[in-house]
Amino acid sequence: MKDTGFSAASLAAQAMGWIDPVTRAVVPPIHMASTYQRDEDNGYSSGRIYARADNPSFDHAEATLAALEGGVKALIFSSGMSAASACFLALSPGDHVVAPKVMYWALRNWLATFATHWGLAVDFVDAESTDAIAAAMRPGATKIVWLETPANPTWVVSDIAAAADIAHRAGALLGVDSTVATPVLTRPLELGADIVMHSATKYLNGHSDIIAGALVGARDDAHWAKLRAIRSQLGTILGQTEAWLLMRGMRTLFPRVQWACRSAQSLAERFASHPMVAEVLYPGLGPSAGHTVAARQRKGGFGGMLSDRVKGGERAAIATAARVGLWKRATSLGGVESLIEHRASIEGPGTPCPPDLLRLSVGIEDSDDLYNDLDQALRRADNS
Ligand SMILES: Cc1ncc(COP(=O)(O)O)c(C=O)c1O
């Protein structure tokens, strides 16, 4: 698949313009094989030995994602968690990590428990503050700075270019969980990041029917080889059919994300003056420091995720979620169907998530329908 000069949107729509050389099919096949024939001279001229290392069914999704992110290489994984944890397992016990206080809760818990027990020293900081990141650095010991931007579930925004500069000056890498921004809105590698991570379960796939993860690297170097080896050794590979579904989903990434952004912006603006909403958290609502950074490092919108803090606290928030019809009460995000979630009760004790917060993942339904459905739920919850 060669560089055609077409835009990322065109490359995604056509899965890199791939045509099967034998059948002329416009959709790639699924390769089910778990093993590959060895040559008579004992070599493996195909470059493939055993499917725990890789599979031709991954090639398409990996090449497309690398192109969309402007990266050199991509690896797809069995989940976002296995992709993210590979970045930390590639370090050595004793190494230091700087990570956000507000981030995807399961990864934060894994860093605070397993990774710490295994020997990493992890400092959690207010990652929307460049000063806080800089103050946490231990030059020589800090090996990776991790960002999630915008961050679950309050959508605070971190300055990727500033964090890359801080990390690199201390000899560390910058890894960015860009699940929520997607390459449609932000390309972290162009802003100086070394690794981009995705829960491909979310927008990249977009249809709430697979669990998948991905890493994209700025360089094909020794560190990248280590990440590839970790996937192969732990066997945290995606199934062949799921890889095909991921590629299918990525073909519509641009129109899905662009639609969700327009709808989320409109919902954020309308709920900001709703009598039952105390505060709307959305990077597209200015003026704020987060809005300024988001406006600088994003193109074409502020994303499909927002949160409403409900007047009346936790009880009113849970009662609201109970009364929606069109929104679906479920965790996860980035699918074509809109989801609503009382987030604090999913994250559990110690969460920085306010108890009155409803997390909204905006899908591709009609925006007025979404507003009206949540509006009636908020008003009925108030009366109950
Ligand atoms: C921002 C973010 N990062 C990582 C993950 C973990 O991904 P997965 O559920 O695919 O393992 C999630 C899942 O919700 C997420 O929202």
Query: pLDDT of 148-175, one tens digit each?
Result: 999 999 999 999 999 999 999 999 999 9
Question: What single DSSP character describes residue 140?
Answer: T
Whole-number CA gyration radius for the chain: 21
| Percent of the chain residues past pLDDT 90, beyond the cut | 94
Smallest CA separation from ligand 1 atom 7, residue: 80
Confidence band of 383 (pLDDT split at 50, 70, 90): low
Q: Which atom of ligand 1 is nearest to the CA of 331?
A: 14
Q: Beta-carbon neighbour count of residue 365 at 10 Å? A: 17
Amino acid code (one letter) for 280 = V
Confidence band of 47 (pLDDT split at 50, 70, 90): very high
- Please tell me the distance between residue 274's alpha carbon and the centre of ligand 1 in angstroms: 30
In this prediction, residue 287 carries a pLDDT of 78
The H or E element spanning position 346 is: helix 343-347
Contacts of 300 (CB under 8 A, 6+ apart): 184, 185, 258, 261
Residue 380 has pLDDT above 60, yes or no: yes
- The DSSP result for 181-223, as a single string, is THHHH--GGGGT-SEEEEETTTTTT-SS----EEEEES--SHH
In this prediction, residue 3 carries a pLDDT of 56
Smallest CA separation from ligand 1 atom 8, residue: 80
Q: What is the mean pLDDT of residues 42-53?
A: 96
- Please tell me the distance between residue 333's alpha carbon and the centre of ligand 1 in angstroms: 9
What is the set of active-site residues? 52, 104, 177, 202
- Please tell me the distance between residue 371's alpha carbon and the centre of ligand 1 in angstroms: 26
The Cα 79–Cα 196 span in angstroms is: 14
Q: Which atom of ligand 1 is nearest to the CA of 103?
A: 1
- Please tell me the distance between residue 334's alpha carbon and the centre of ligand 1 in angstroms: 11
Smallest CA separation from ligand 1 atom 16, residue: 104
β-strand pairing of 357-361 with 305-310 = antiparallel
- The DSSP result for 220-288, as a single string, is -SHHHHHHHHHHHHHT-PPPHHHHHHHHHHHTTHHHHHHHHHHHHHHHHHHHTT-TTEEEEE-TTS-SS
Smallest CA separation from ligand 1 atom 9, residue: 80
The tokens for 244 are 């095909």
Tens of pLDDT, residue by residue over 68-118, are 999 999 999 999 999 999 999 999 999 999 999 999 999 999 999 999 999
Entry pTM? 0.97
In this prediction, residue 2 carries a pLDDT of 47
In this prediction, residue 290 carries a pLDDT of 84
Confidence band of 384 (pLDDT split at 50, 70, 90): low
Residues with CB under 6 A from ligand 1: 79-81, 104, 107, 148, 152, 177, 179-180, 199, 201, 211, 213, 332-333
- Please tell me the distance between residue 380's alpha carbon and the centre of ligand 1 in angstroms: 32
Q: Using most ligand atoms within 8 A of CB, pick from 102, 201, 204 the residue to mutate for ligand 1.
A: 201
Smallest CA separation from ligand 1 atom 10, residue: 80
